[in-house]
Every structure is written in C-alpha cells, then in structure tokens.
Structure 1
Amino acid sequence: MRDFLVVGGGVIGMMTTLQLADAGHRVTLVERGECGREASWAGGGIVSPLYPWRYSMPISQLSRWSEGFYPELSLRLLEETGIDPEYRQKGLLYLRVDDEARALEWAREVGKPLERVGADFLYAKEPQAAPGFENGLWMPTLGSIRNPRLVQALRARLEAMPKVELREGVAVERLLTEGDRVVGVASRDGQLSAEHTIVCGGAWAGQLLGTVGIDLPVRPVKGQMILFKAPPGLVERVVLMDGRYVIPRNDGRILAGSTLEDVGYDKATTAEARESLHASALCIIPALAQCPVEHHWAGLRPGSPDGIPFIGAAPGLQGLSVNAGHYRNGLVLAPASTRLLVDALLGRTPIVDPEPYRLPA
C-alpha cells in the first residue's frame, strides 16, 4: 500500500507529491485528465496577489513565503528536467491605483519595496505603456513564472521519481471509508488505496468531499485570458491597471487577463470576454493593437470565502487531508500551502500558524 494518495494533478497536487517524495514517501498522484492542464495551466503566473494590500493576513503570510521559494524551485526544475519554468523577476508597474495611500502603508508595515514613481521613471521602465500617466506605483521584487512550463517541469520531475506513481486519465468518483477512516478512492478504473488521502482537486474538491458528507464551500469561478504574439522586448514587466494586467514571456508573447465569472463548470470562451480583454490590454499597452491574438482560453478557479484556502485534516475522518480553495492565488500560494500541509502530515514545525486555514467542523 502506498503511503499517500494525492487526488488532483494541478500545481497544488504536484508540489504536494514532490515534497512527500523528497521526504522518502511512496506517493500515488491521480488526475482525471492530464496533470497541470486545468487552473494551473490557465492562469497568468504572477507570483503575488494582484493587489496584495487588499488581502487578509492569512493570504499575505502564505504569499510572502511562496515568493521567496520560486527562484529556487525554478532553478531546481531546470537542472533536473531541462524544462525552464522561466521565472522572471522584473517587477510590476501599477497604474491608476485608487487606494495608493493604503498600498504604501501596507508596504511599510510588511517591509515590502513599493514606491510611488513619476512619469520619467514609469516610461523609462515601460516605454510602450499608455501615454498620459504622471505617476504610478513600482514593486521591483515581483516575479512571474511561465506556468505551463512550470507544470510541465513538475510533471517531468515526478515521472522520473521512483517513489511516485502518476495515474492520469483516472476519474475519481468517491472517497472510500472503513468506519471513520478514509482508505482510498473509487474510480471508473477501480479502487486505489493508501495510508493517507489528500484532496487537491481545485474547483472539484467540494464535489469529492461531499461523497463523505463534508460540505466544503469551494466553487468554480471562470477566468478567461488572451495571448498576443508580440515581438520580444515590447513589454518587459508586468503592468497592472484597473484590475486587468499584461504579463510578458521571454519569447515576447504577452498574456492579458482576466475575467471573473460565476457560471458553474462552464469553461467555454466568449466573444464578449475576448473583446473586453483585448480592449483592456490596449488601454495598458496601445502598441498591442498591431499584434495578433494567438490564443484565447478559460479556466476554473477554486473559489472560497474570502479567498483563504482550506489546508489540513478533514474533521471527523482519519486518513484524509485537504488543500483546496485558493481562488485567484493557487500558483501564488502553492509552495507555502503545500509546505504547510506536508509539515502537518510529517510532524514538522509549521512555517506559519495553521489555524486560519483549518477546515470548518
């Protein structure tokens, strides 16, 4: 029997599996589709909440820990797999921030570099930014990662680890119990057993936990994005305005996002969203009008109350833990939230107080 069974092959599930395998445990990772192809693939890869001063302390604690982890993880995965997750730390420019005073106060409180900059600085950093801005906010430490490459690298690393068994294309239907203990899962392809089961099912986590009577308030929230094929160097850093953003990649491509839609499990793209995202991107970088849109897609975020993830043991059942409900910040919080859970599973000192993330009784 395996030590751990991880359900859900997104960035949360794969990082959990990697840490457990690094610690010497035998882990099966089961994913209904292909690992890393849901929300982890669909997001933008900014390694920070968009407006971090607007979030509660539980989210801020996890995000600060995670930000410092990504450079190390990116280098490790490149060395071990040959796949470059393309971590870029080139900073972020905020345009038209309504609560600027609160942002600067937050930065002083947490010791985060954030400063008000004038037009000369702003356009020196991003000459193609929309004209007419007299000032903005500048966060030099913000990084971004090319999340499709990140999940490709994580999957390749796990596939090469002898203690990891990857089971893709396996749709888990329900959790299996014996008395008050979860002993594994039932799937269309049979049963899988382990000493401990971990649900990292993203927007689908609540459905699976419902099979054992746990009502977890996690729901799907659709987000749509578009990708411009732009020449390298047109945009060098993340630029954010009015809740929309552009994110450059090393090859010049530029992502623009994103929508927030409460439409259940519908992942269809819409012409309205494409037009809205295109207009927002051009408001930030007018030169994108000359660049074709190469791709348009949608993903489902695991929405939760206040965006605070549920991390820890399931109440009333032994052998079951959960890591779900990260809403817009799954990739941002993944290193810290998975480390927090693995610390609990292995009896190690937690990196932060686990209490704010406990599942409701």
Structure 2
Amino acid sequence: MRILVVGGGAIGLLSARLLAEAGADVCLLDQGGLGGESSWAGGGIVSPLYPWRYSPAVTALAHWSQDFYPQLAARLLGDTGIDPEVYVTGLYWLDLEDEATALAWAAREQRSLLAVSIEAVHQAVPVLGSGYSRALHMPNVANVRNPRLIKALRAALLNMPTVTIHEQCAVTGFIQEGGRICGVRTEAGDLRADRVVVAAGAWSGELLAGLGIALPVEPVKGQMILYKCAESFLPSMVLAKGRYAIPRRDGHILIGSTLEHAGFDKAPTENALDSLKASAVELLPALAEAVPVGHWAGLRPGSPEGIPFIGAVPGFEGLWLNCGHYRNGLVLAPASCQLLADLMLGRQPIIDPAPYAPRGRLT
C-alpha cells in the first residue's frame, strides 16, 4: 500500500512512522519544513491545560498518550540518539474556580490530582509569586521538548527505507478519479497513492475546501515567550489565570500562551509580549529582572470542542483525516496516530473510534 501523508507536524510524522512500520510505502509532504508550525511552537505539556473541562473523547486520547509517551521517547532515543526529553515535573494549578469539578473528574478517571496547601506549593516552588491561596497538584504530568521530538521523529523516518519526505512541497489539490482520491497535486507535479491522509493542522480546512468539503478546522494564533534561567530555577510546571510556566531540563522557561483569532497571521505582537511578560512576573517574580530570549507565534488547528477528526472521509474513498487537535496536538499525537493506523490497516482500534469519525461531522 502506498500512502501519502499531507502535513509534517507531530501528527503527520508519527502517522507516517506507524504506517511505515506496518509495511506501507509512505510519502510525507509539507508545505514548509517538517514540524515548523504548531508542533514546534507549542509548549509541550503532556496534558490538556484543564483536562476536566474536555469531553470523554479528548480524555480517552489524552490518557492513552500520557501513559505511552515515556515509551515513545525511549524508543526514539534508542533509534536516533536524539532525546525528546519527556520531563516529569508535575503541574500545579493555582486558584481554580472549578476545583471541585476537577477533583471529581480525577476521582472518576482514577488520575492522581490532589488539593494541597499554598504553603506546600511555595516549599516545592520557592520562586512562585505571592497572592495565591489554593492549589491542585498532579505529580506525574510531564512535558516534552517538542522541537527535539520533531527532530527525533524526522531522523527516525529518514532511517526508514519505505519513507520518502518532500519538504517545501505545497499541495495545491487532489487527484480524484471516479469519486476516489488517488493522489495530490503539488507545484512540483502530481503524486499518486492508494490513500491520502490529511494531517495539515490549521491548513487542513483550506485543503479540503477544494473538494467542496466543509471541515471546521481553523487557525487559532498562540504566542509564547522564552527565558533562560538556572537549571534548578523552576522545579515544576505552574498554571494560573490561563497562563503557564514550563521548565525544560536545561533551565529554559516557556511562558504561554495567548489565544487569538487572527486568520493565518503568525506575526508576534508587542501587546502579546507585554501581556506574557506580565504573566511571567506574576507567576515567577524573579523574571522581572530577566529579558526574554525568544518570542514567537504559532497557529493551532481549532476545532469544535477540540475533538480531532480521525478516520475515512465518507464519499471520498481513499481520503483520510488526522487533524483538528486544537490546543492538544502534542498531547494527543501518540493515541491519534495509533488510532489512525489501526483504522487504515483494519486492526482492532485502541479506543472507540466513533467520536472522531468524520462521518456526520462534515458538510
């Protein structure tokens, strides 16, 4: 089987890897460089920001992925020598309005989430700002260093003889014969395949519009800033008022993120920079004396309720989707891609695929 995967972010890369491991010939296309969009720009928390606020469909993918990430990272390190740095730091949520809902969700889902005193938080995270009164703690939450994850996945694919990669190769349309999708058109020429997977993130809706399919996936801009501190500066992730601080092992601290509906505009703005710096100082006052070493923007693939589209497109034989993960692409990638591979290869799916099926969700 020859499969074309359109989109070289974390979803496309991991989909390609799993399909190739199962014996398919895979051609991976990206309009830019691999992983250069939201997969690179995100924070990499291996959890939805507020997991109890999502539907069971998102929760099912998140739980499978969270449990699988350490194994994925270890295998990529062994295969490529590149460590994606899955870093278990835990996460503190501060002054939540729906604390009772969160604790009830954790009890129901059997996830470790505990109410802790603010004094205990300050003991664990001495650099945390004052003014907070309550906290919830999930000790086993990790973050993945997403640029390194992308680098490892790319290296793994380059080592696979049945995988071909085309970067800087924008898809301009689909090849359709007798109601079947049998390839794509690009500026460099046509590429044919038995099946085509659209994993193009925020651009997925634009691609499918050419077939007259209304896929409700749209770009949602997010901006972040980066600081460089001592390695021991921040021992845990912290989140308050919708903003978070994420420590990397080498002392880099990510602060994010904004939520903006600005089309495909990815330009960082001074307003966002000022807002993010204010959030950084509120969370971690010592950063008032620090200068950000990075500021960027990315485009999330926004979708209704953040539930991705995974599966075959009805009425267009040969066309498959793995897109629309909104704010949780890195979190959900392992499960989403495993589910796609299971469905495409006729295997028993890891979870019930019904909530993600394109059928009934497209017009």
- Name the TM-score class by shorter chain: over 0.9
Q: Is 1:295 paired with 2:297?
A: no
Asked if the contact 1:122/1:135 (under 8 Å) is kept, the reply is no
Between the aligned partners of 2:289 and 2:129, the Cα distance in structure 1 is 14
- What letter is aligned with 1:161? M
- 1:151-300 matched pairs, under 5 angstroms: 151-300=150-299
How much does 1:132 deviate? 4.1
Asked if the contact 1:220/1:302 (under 8 Å) is kept, the reply is yes
How much does 1:82 deviate? 1.3
Q: How many residues are treated as equivalent by the alignment?
A: 360
How much does 1:84 deviate? 1.1
- TM, length-normalised to structure 1: 0.98
Where does residue 324 of structure 1 map in the other structure?
323
Where does residue 305 of structure 1 map in the other structure?
304
Where does residue 114 of structure 2 map in the other structure?
115
Q: Is 1:101 paired with 2:88?
A: no
Between the aligned partners of 1:50 and 1:219, the Cα distance in structure 2 is 20
Unaligned runs of 5+ in 2: none
- TM, length-normalised to structure 2: 0.98
Where does residue 60 of structure 1 map in the other structure?
59
The RMSD of aligned alpha carbons is: 1.0
How much does 1:3 deviate? 1.2
Between the aligned partners of 1:273 and 1:108, the Cα distance in structure 2 is 37
Where does residue 342 of structure 1 map in the other structure?
341
Unaligned runs of 5+ in 1: none
Where does residue 144 of structure 1 map in the other structure?
143
Q: Secondary structure at the match of 1:174?
A: strand
- What letter is aligned with 1:269? P
Between the aligned partners of 1:207 and 1:246, the Cα distance in structure 2 is 33
- What letter is aligned with 1:262? H
How much does 1:269 deviate? 0.5
How much does 1:36 deviate? 0.5
How much does 1:26 deviate? 0.9
Between the aligned partners of 2:126 and 2:148, the Cα distance in structure 1 is 28
- What letter is aligned with 1:285? L
41-50 or 90-99, larger mean C-alpha shift: 90-99
- What letter is aligned with 1:217? P
Between the aligned partners of 1:115 and 1:229, the Cα distance in structure 2 is 30
Deviation above 4 Å: which 4+ runs of structure 1? Answer: none
Between the aligned partners of 1:347 and 1:270, the Cα distance in structure 2 is 47
Between the aligned partners of 1:271 and 1:229, the Cα distance in structure 2 is 20
CA-to-aligned-CA distance 1:99-132 (integer Å, 9 cap, x gap)? 1111110100000000111133212211111124
Between the aligned partners of 2:200 and 2:40, the Cα distance in structure 1 is 14
Q: Secondary structure at the match of 2:40?
A: helix
- What letter is aligned with 2:57? P
Between the aligned partners of 1:161 and 1:51, the Cα distance in structure 2 is 37
Asked if the contact 2:32/2:167 (under 8 Å) is kept, the reply is yes
CA-to-aligned-CA distance 1:5-40 (integer Å, 9 cap, x gap)? 000000000000010111121100011111001000
- What letter is aligned with 1:112? R
Asked if the contact 2:226/2:292 (under 8 Å) is kept, the reply is yes
How much does 1:72 deviate? 0.6
